[in-house]
């Protein structure tokens, strides 16, 4: 097993664990923000909850894209 394939395996494992962790925390945060939005009385609190929901969705998409980018870069490095 070459050093590059070993590095690729380690990166794949860490990326998968990171994405799973972020997805779990993101799902919990999304549910809590959504519930808070539903029970909030003040309009300002509802708007703040909507902002947090947007941040959570944007952050989760960012993590997925970063993981994909790392996989592309590692596979491109293994070709050359």
CA distance 7 to 17: 15
DSSP state of 2: -
pLDDT of residue 22: 81
DSSP state of 56: H
pLDDT of residue 1: 60
| pLDDT by residue, tens only, the chain of 80 residues | 677 788 878 888 888 888 788 888 888 888 988 898 889 889 898 899 899 989 888 888 887 888 788 778 877 776 65
CA distance 19 to 60: 9
pLDDT of residue 26: 83
CA distance 33 to 48: 9
CA distances from 37 to 27, 28, 29, 65 (A): 15, 14, 12, 28
């Amino acid at each position: 097993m070459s050093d590059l394939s070993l590095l690729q395996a380690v990166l794949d494992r860490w990326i998968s664990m990171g994405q799973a962790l972020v997805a779990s925390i993101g799902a919990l945060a999304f549910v809590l923000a959504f519930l808070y939005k539903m029970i909030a009385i003040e309009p300002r609190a509802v708007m703040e909850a909507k902002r947090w929901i947007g941040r959570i969705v944007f952050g989760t998409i960012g993590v997925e894209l970063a993981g994909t980018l790392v996989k592309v870069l590692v596979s491109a490095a293994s070709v050359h």
